[in-house]
Amino acid sequence: MKKNLYMLFVAAATLLGGCGEPDPIYIHNPHPGNTEATLSFTSAESTNIDAAKQDVVFDFVSSQVNFEVKTDREWCSAKVVDNNKLVVSVDKNDYANNRVATITIVAGIYDNITAPKSVTVYQGPGEIALPKVGDIYGSGVVYWVSTAAVNAGFRTVSLKRAYGMDAQWSTDLYQLGLTDKNDGRKNVAKLQNLSEYPAFNFCATMAPNHGQGWYLPALNEWNDIFLLYNGGITPTKGLPTEAEQVKRAEFEAFLAANGGAPFNSFVASSNGDSYWTSTEVDFENAYTVLTWNHKTLEGSKTGSKRGARCIQHFDLR
Give tens-digit pLDDT for 223-236.
Answer: 999 999 999 999 88
Beta strand 285-290 with 311-315: parallel, antiparallel or unpaired? Answer: unpaired
Q: How far apart are CA 275 and CA 300, in angstroms?
A: 12
End-to-end CA separation in angstroms for the chain: 39
Q: What is the largest CA-CA distance in the chain?
A: 80
The residue from 93, 123, 153 where one domain ends is 123
8-state DSSP, 219: G
Which residues on neighbouring strands pair with residue 289, listed in sequence order? Answer: 275, 296
Percent residues over pLDDT 70 in the chain: 86
Q: Is residue 279 part of a domain?
A: yes
Other Cβ atoms within 10 Å of 296 Cβ, number: 14
Contact between residue 13 and residue 22 where contact means Cβ atoms under 8 Å apart:
yes
pTM: 0.76
Asked if residue 218 and residue 182 are part of one domain, the reply reads yes
8-state DSSP, 282: S
Asked if residue 246 and residue 101 are part of one domain, the reply reads no
Please provide the average confidence, as pLDDT, over all residues in the chain. 87
Q: Is residue 129 part of a domain?
A: no
8-state DSSP, 23: -
Q: How far apart are CA 74 and CA 147, in angstroms?
A: 18
Average pLDDT over residues 73-90: 97
pLDDT tens digits along 136-168? 999 999 999 988 877 889 999 999 999 988 899
Q: How many domains does the chain have?
A: 2
Residue 94 sits in a domain of what CATH number? 2.60.40.10
Residue 207 has pLDDT above 70, yes or no: no
Other Cβ atoms within 10 Å of 126 Cβ, number: 17
